[in-house]
Chains A and B, each alone.
Chain A
Amino acid sequence: MVTSLKEEELHKHVLIPYKPNAKYAYTAGQAQSRYLLGLKEGKILGRKCVKCGKIYVPPKMYCDECFRPTDTWVEVMDEGYVMTAVASFISWTREKISEPELVGVIRLLPSSPRDFVYPGIFHKLCVSYEEVKNMSVIGKRVKAVWRPKEERKASINDIQCFKVI
């Protein structure tokens, strides 16, 4: 079914190896900067729009529904429910990796199972491949495993992963 490329086929072509010296200085912006500083303190911060009640995690300075500024900072729990989980056997360059990377999406609390939109986070899960494969992890309550305080760098990796409680 699938014809993969042979090594010699690759060499039949003129390849132009080119490594652009492209460096980007991304800004975290007003909302995400505060969010990252919150992670350093072991807190997950969001922004709330009082008009529609929506809580944005990751935070935003504006409400995209009401198109007005969000009003207050709120701290959500570092606990929630696993909405979905996957196990990746390929790297971002599509090379095979033997130990799968386990990641998922967590609906953070406070929120309700009926919410279509909720405070959410995409992160690693400290679970086994088996639990992902048999789907038993989906719907489980999880809690963030924080890096030791002195190792935190105001980065998304200040959380090591989410662990089932």
Chain B
Amino acid sequence: MKVNIHLNKRVAVIGAGMTQFRRRILETPQEIAWEASSKALEEAGLELKDIECVVIGSAPDAFDGVNLKGEYLSHGSGGIRKPSSRVFVGGATGVMAAITGWYHVASGMCNTVLVVAEEKMSPARPHPQSVFRYIWDPILEKPLNPNLIWIFAMEMHRYMATYGIKKEEIALVSVKNKRNAANNPYAQLGGNITVDDVLNSEVLVWPVQLLDISPVSDGGAAMIMASEDVARRYSDTPIWVDGVGWTLDNTEWPARDLAYARYLEFAARMAYKMAGIENPYKELDVIEPYDPFDYKELHHIEGLRIAQRGEAPKLLKEGVFDIDGDIPSSPSGGLLGVGNPIAAAGLMKVISIYWQLKGTAGKMQVKKPVHTGLAQAWGDLMQASTVIIMRN
């Protein structure tokens, strides 16, 4: 893969804010976006008039039950009378919003960007699951009455079958992430659960059970990105974006081996090349891989080339990914613990890494000193992947 990077300006993150993630939050989507945005401005010490461009990330329109979410959210996101744009690549949206903010600054177009991601999944009745009906091929797939969990269950079973991985080993991700989320003031579903709790929870689509999956949630997240000169003026601890990568694989998921996240390997290679990372296992200090399902964190750790194919569960069991391990993974609690308002959950991962590198993650702060972190998201019909690498 050819990657040519021509940077005009170095890009930093200088502020971030989030709402609490939970279901049936009382605010409208714009109010949620406003709350996250104003907290981010406050942390950066900026006012809206200092912001030159606005990037809005929101996944499918249908969740909030309104069309054209970019326009709909624009006033709550401070996007009026500014160059505002909306990006959406399904679950990969949250990190794509940060990447888009990055290239607004890296290109030299704007010195300050407000990146806002919002999702509200609770309006859909009887369940947001039914909204997903329209992502399937109308002629070849929809007549089989699929629901979205089917494809992930298929991927999980393929992953387990290919490498001989047991459900017990995968359930440890859910245990770890929900435990980490107990330290996160924004989290919906933190707590101490056991592998048995996961294995005894309701079977949705075997092998996916209720505690293998992230909760339906509403929430917002926002981040301020700035060029180097502005960042130095407003922050003593700017966190630099040193690598980004994003790719789409083919959409024919029944015609491609689901055991390995090839889409992610492409995106990760691009980001590693930009950040000058040759050995991700040695060079990354903390990671937030996308975990809407527990197996997905392991799948993504392998796609990121942090573990060999099929080896992530072994490293997990050894404690490598624990909060006091070699490479703490999802110290925020991830989507499994914090909740999964799709785009906001992705940006939450980027913000978590930013706070880790800044040293302001509070009770979530990992034990060892950290200098290089990675956040990643994934979505669409199991084809889109986005990666961002930051350093302090």
Contacts and interface: CB of A to CB of B under 8 A. Distances in A.
Nearest to B158: A84
Interface residues of B, number: 50
Contacts of B141: 122, 156
B25 interface: no
27 contacts: A2-B215, A15-B125, A24-B138, A26-B138, A26-B139, A56-B252, A83-B257, A83-B258, A86-B157, A87-B203, A88-B205, A89-B204, A89-B205, A90-B147, A90-B205, A92-B145, A93-B129, A93-B147, A101-B145, A103-B154, A104-B154, A117-B256, A122-B141, A122-B144, A122-B253, A135-B157, A155-B143
Contacts, number: 139
Contacts of B114: none
What interface size band does chain A fall in?
Answer: 35 or more
Given A36-B139, A86-B154, 10 more contacts: A84-B154, A88-B149, A89-B203, A89-B205, A90-B129, A90-B205, A91-B145, A103-B154, A116-B257, A121-B254
B46 interface: no
Interface in A1-58: 1-2, 5, 15, 24, 26, 28, 32, 36, 56-58
B197 A84 contact: no
B3 interface: no
Residue among A15, A116, A155 with most chain B CB within 10 A: A116
Contacts of A139: 161
Residue among A104, A115, A129 with most chain B CB within 10 A: A104
Which label, helix, strand, loop or mixed, suits the secondary structure of the B interface?
mixed
B211 interface: yes
Interface of B: 24, 125-127, 129-130, 132-133, 138-141, 143-147, 149-150, 153-155, 157-158, 160-161, 189, 191, 193, 197, 202-208, 210-211, 215, 250, 252-258, 260, 262
Which label, helix, strand, loop or mixed, suits the secondary structure of the A interface?
mixed
